[in-house]
Amino acid sequence: MNTRAPESARRAASPLAFDGQRIVLVHGATSGPWVFDDWADSWAARWPEVEVRVPDLQEGLDVAHATMSDYVDRVLAAVGDRHAVLCGWSMGGLVAMMAARHSQPAALVVIEPSVPAEINGGDPNWPLAAGTYDAESTYGPSVPGTRHRPESLLARGERKRGISVPAMTCPLLVVAGRDYVDTRGRPVAEQYGADLMEFPELGHFQLVADPRVRGAIAQWVSSLAP
């Protein structure tokens, strides 16, 4: 594991992480809350005084018409009035970044997030259309044992067009593996002055399956607390 903590991020890492007593984990596209089952269990054991919430971004939605803002609303509902720690993987990382702009999180962790427009500029001509898509037809063969479900084509179109997240004002950790370190890892950390944690031996899906990742993230979060 490789880590980098820019001076700006170290200054931002003030002792405030757990005054809200809540962590919200945000799953990725074609995935669901189950991807964080082991995280919720291990973190609940590590911090028994902290409530770990894993909202289902699709709950109550017509998925074919679901937007990224709909997903943000579900995260904000899980945050409630707490000074929570947000942690999102893949699409959920971008959702968490968007939610952070509408709340006051104690800290934010993004694991190879879908990137904001500030990173790649987006494609303003990408079509926006209602519908759903499946993981294998869009992303290629699935990792054995990975559970998927249909995902919103409209929300994917919004991501492709580009969603702006101008700045982050809370402590931010970016986690990357071997698959997207040059596109979703280092550029995101550099753009927002974040801490960077790299696992060059792990692929995109392994980042949420390998216990070393959640352990390292837990240590980072703990370093922000009094």
For 185, other C-beta atoms within 10 Å of its C-beta total 25
Query: Is the pLDDT confidence value at 13 over 70?
Result: no
Say which CATH number the domain at 49 has. 3.40.50.1820
Task: Tell me the pTM.
Answer: 0.91
User: In angstroms, how far apart are the furthest CA atoms of the chain?
Assistant: 48
Residues 64 and 152: beta-carbon distance below 8 Å: yes
Sheet holding 22-26, edge to edge: 2-4, 195-198, 172-176, 107-111, 85-89, 22-26, 51-53
User: What values do phi and psi take at 195, rounded to 5?
Assistant: -70, 150
The model's pLDDT over 146-198, given as tens digits with 9 standing for 90+, comes to 889 999 999 999 999 999 999 999 999 999 999 999 999 999 999 999 999 99
Residues 78 and 55: beta-carbon distance below 8 Å: yes
Calculate the alpha carbon distances from 162 to 11, 16, 41, 133 in Å: 30, 32, 34, 19
Least confident window among 15-19, 51-55, 58-62, 128-132: 15-19
Using CA atoms, how far apart are residues 42 and 211, in angstroms rounded to an integer?
9
Q: How many domains does the chain have?
A: 1
Query: Is the pLDDT confidence value at 17 over 70?
Result: no
Domain that holds residue 103: 2-224
Residue 2's pLDDT band, with cuts at 50, 70 and 90, is confident
